[in-house]
Structure 1
Amino acid sequence: MVAAQEKFNLDALIEAARKEPPITVYAVTGKIVDTTKAFSEKYGVKASGKKVNEATQIELMIREHQAGNVVGDISLATDVASAMGQLLPEGIAMSWTPPDLAVDISEKYRNPLVVVSDPHVWTYNTQKYDKCPVDNVWQLTEPEWKGKIAMLDLFDKPLYADWFNQIEQHHDGDMARAYEARYGKKLETGKESATAAWVKAFAQNGPLLSDSTTVANAAGTPNQANPFFVITSTAKYRDNITNGLKLGMCTDIKPFAGFLYPGFGLIATKTKSPNAAKLFIRYLMTEEGIAPQTVDGKISGNSKIRLPADEPSGVTAHLGRLMAFEAATAGDDLDKRESWQDLWRVNYRK
């Protein structure tokens, strides 16, 4: 194994990796199959990819660690809160940043290593509207949008409950100011946060909770009289090209046009192929390795890697309008996840 203290030598890492057993990579995207194949062909190191959702990745990593039988050597773009609250502090997984690429990786993205960030953006139907019909998230609590909003199911995709917690922890003042900008008066909540007040009112307006394809179609299907207004991953904007959807990003909505959800690259601490795992992590931090995901608008943790010019959402010009998740407080997101889900459940009205 290449010791962390030694001066990094890529050739030595490749040589060591070739002597190790094949690796398996868990990822939330099916593109991981082609990525591992390309990696194997490039380096002569056997690797396979499996599409596994966030919650199942966490469960598998924990069970395999406890059994001492690691199948998934790498967990890619897993549940951030669970990674910070369980996998890393309990020694189930570890983070490694390629030393030769570290200069191009922001310090806040190095530990844990953020391989990609997934933009989730407020989205409207460009065929129905000449411009985004919403300029403030508090509009989404008003009667006009009752039953006409959609997003991923926060009980199936808890990153949305974590998003609420991130807003409250780091941007509650922005939510209060957005209210004042909309209504011309200060928000009175008593002891409740502005974020909690918005979540309650938002839930009471009956958003449709569903999977990513249903949410994207609800907004972007052509020739709708009353399309939904949604928040979805920019990865769905590829359907503008492949399926003729009419998805458009709301770039000026207050206080944020959406959020950036980080995707960690974590290595199982009990892997029998630590060098192969590190080599694959490094591959993902190169333009070649992450290209299958950047075409979907996902942002590489390597600052030198840009999105393709023809990426359909156009998010690259508006990254400053997205709320960035703070990984350092993600453990708190895990602790409070059920509380946000309960708040939603109690206030939800169809």
Structure 2
Amino acid sequence: MNYVKLGALGLLMATSAQAQTAAELLEAAKAEPPMTAYAVTGKIVDTAEAFSAKYGLKVTGKKVNEAGQIELLIREAQANNVVGGVSLAADPSTVTAQLIPEGIVESWLPPEVADQLPASARDPLVVVSDPTVWAYNAEAYDACPISNVWQLTDPEWKARIAMMDPLEKPGYADWFNQLEENHDAEMAAAYQAHYGKAFDSSQGSATEAWVKAFAGNGVLIADSSGVADAIGAAGQEKPFFGMTSVAKFRDNADKGSKLAICAGVAPFSGWLYPGIGVIAKGTASPNTAKLFISYLMTAEGIAPQSADGKLPSDPRVGLPADEASGIAADLGQLMVWNNAGAQSDLDRRQDWQDIWRMSLR
């Protein structure tokens, strides 16, 4: 990871500005009611408890999936009864292209990290990015059994691939759109590398052709735990190959699983999914919400999630050395999400879901 070095005076100035900002927020937050923070991970419960103990405020963490968070944020705003003051890692396309423009939520950039984040992570604020990777069973294979995504459309892998359902997990449909809009040339190059001939563009995009062929090859659809078990459970003679969040690699220690990252796949070994942090505009605890967002941007505040491989946007924080998947070594092989494409991702989501639905066998 890259770390920004400050001189003694610069460090003192940055620390003073951060302390002053936190002190002002804390003082104002003391007069505010308790607040709930929504996130897709259960780790938000521990984070909220640690935050409450640190600042003497009352924040409750609640695990809610992406679609559930969107529904809660909209309904609470419509009812003028906002419970969730902070939302973390809800559906980023809907948050960016719908909820922010409609004034349901807002993005707030903590001043102490403004100069440290890449421009793409500032508006809206990306707190972490979740690496989603191609994975294999290291007990059954000495090395990753594929090197090109087009292999997964061949008969050899028929009914031997596991993945979450793009109809239930829209981030996967958005991933297809991100590939087509930003990396279709790489998908076509991977086709040529695998089949020894140029992709015939008269049939549409290479990405669409791959999605159709991939879905038609008997993909096993399961929830996150089911996918991870199908790939990594020990004792399998012929385990599934598939795609999963690196957070599931904790199963290697907890359940004796054998998950391993499939590095060196053309065109990508996976993708980084943005976890956007926003504040509900109607919250009665806006200062508490800002302080909580600031806390999430620190190594202490994000530790429960970075331990699962979720990559903090602030490069000074990084991943812990003992993170289970070892994704830090392969970050350069992951597709980086283009947050500017949120509107297109949302507009075309149904199209990609329809393609998936009609192609799935």
Among 210, 218, 221, the alignment partner of 1:198 is: 210
Q: Which residue pairs with 1:75 in the alignment?
A: 87
RMSD, aligned CA = 1.2
Give the conservation status (yes or no) of the 8 Å contact 1:120–1:231: yes
Among 97, 107, 121, the alignment partner of 2:119 is: 107
Give the conservation status (yes or no) of the 8 Å contact 2:247–2:308: yes
Among 221, 225, 228, the alignment partner of 2:240 is: 228
Q: Tell me the alpha carbon deviations over residues 83-125 of structure 1, each in whole angstroms, 9 at most, x when there is no partner.
A: 1221111110000111012222112101100011000000000
Q: Which residue pairs with 1:166 in the alignment?
A: 178
Q: Which amino acid aligns with 2:311?
A: I
Give the conservation status (yes or no) of the 8 Å contact 1:189–1:197: no
Among 103, 121, 125, the alignment partner of 1:91 is: 103
Q: Which residue pairs with 2:164 in the alignment?
A: 152
SS at match of 2:202: coil
Q: Which residue pairs with 1:310 in the alignment?
A: 322
Q: Which amino acid aligns with 1:124?
A: Y
Q: Which residue pairs with 1:34 in the alignment?
A: 46
Number of residue pairs aligned between Structure 1 and Structure 2:
344
Among 220, 234, 249, the alignment partner of 2:261 is: 249
- Tell me the TM-score normalised to structure 2 length: 0.94
CA distance, structure 2, for counterparts of residue 51 and residue 209 of structure 1? 23
Q: State whether structure 2 residue 199 is matched by structure 1 residue 187.
A: yes
SS at match of 1:306: coil
SS at match of 2:283: coil
CA distance, structure 1, for counterparts of residue 54 and residue 251 of structure 2? 30
SS at match of 1:102: coil
Give the conservation status (yes or no) of the 8 Å contact 1:154–1:209: no
Q: Which residue pairs with 2:305 in the alignment?
A: 293
CA distance, structure 2, for counterparts of residue 33 and residue 18 of structure 1? 21
Q: Which amino acid aligns with 2:259?
A: L
SS at match of 1:73: strand
CA distance, structure 2, for counterparts of residue 141 and residue 40 of structure 1? 50
- Tell me the TM-score normalised to structure 1 length: 0.96
Q: Which residue pairs with 2:9 in the alignment?
A: none
Identity of aligned residues (%): 58
Q: Which residue pairs with 2:10 in the alignment?
A: none
Cα displacement (A) at 1:44: 1.0
Runs of 4+ residues over 3 Å off in structure 1: none
Q: Which residue pairs with 1:128 in the alignment?
A: 140
SS at match of 1:292: helix
SS at match of 1:159: helix
SS at match of 1:130: coil
Among 288, 310, 313, the alignment partner of 1:276 is: 288
Q: Tell me the alpha carbon deviations over residues 255-277 of structure 1, each in whole angstroms, 9 at most, x when there is no partner.
A: 00000000000100111111100
Q: Which amino acid aligns with 1:25?
A: A
Q: Tell me the alpha carbon deviations over residues 129-167 of structure 1, each in whole angstroms, 9 at most, x when there is no partner.
A: 000000000000000000000111111111000100000
Cα displacement (A) at 1:191: 5.0
Q: State whether structure 2 residue 229 is matched by structure 1 residue 208.
A: no
CA distance, structure 1, for counterparts of residue 97 and residue 25 of structure 2? 30
CA distance, structure 1, for counterparts of residue 119 and residue 339 of structure 2? 12
Q: Which amino acid aligns with 1:327?
A: N
SS at match of 1:232: strand
Q: Which amino acid aligns with 1:341?
A: Q
Any gaps of 5 or more consecutive residues in structure 1?
A: 1-5
Among 152, 177, 190, the alignment partner of 1:178 is: 190
Q: Tell me the alpha carbon deviations over residues 233-292 of structure 1, each in whole angstroms, 9 at most, x when there is no partner.
A: 000000001100000101100000000000000100111111100000000000000000
Q: State whether structure 2 residue 152 is matched by structure 1 residue 140.
A: yes
Cα displacement (A) at 1:9: 2.3
CA distance, structure 2, for counterparts of residue 208 and residue 325 of structure 1? 25
Q: Which residue pairs with 1:15 in the alignment?
A: 27
CA distance, structure 1, for counterparts of residue 110 and residue 286 of structure 2? 13
Q: State whether structure 2 residue 58 is matched by structure 1 residue 46.
A: yes
SS at match of 2:102: coil
SS at match of 2:234: coil
Q: State whether structure 2 residue 341 is matched by structure 1 residue 347.
A: no
CA distance, structure 2, for counterparts of residue 304 and residue 181 of structure 1? 38
CA distance, structure 1, for counterparts of residue 215 and residue 263 of structure 2? 23
Q: Which amino acid aligns with 1:301?
A: S
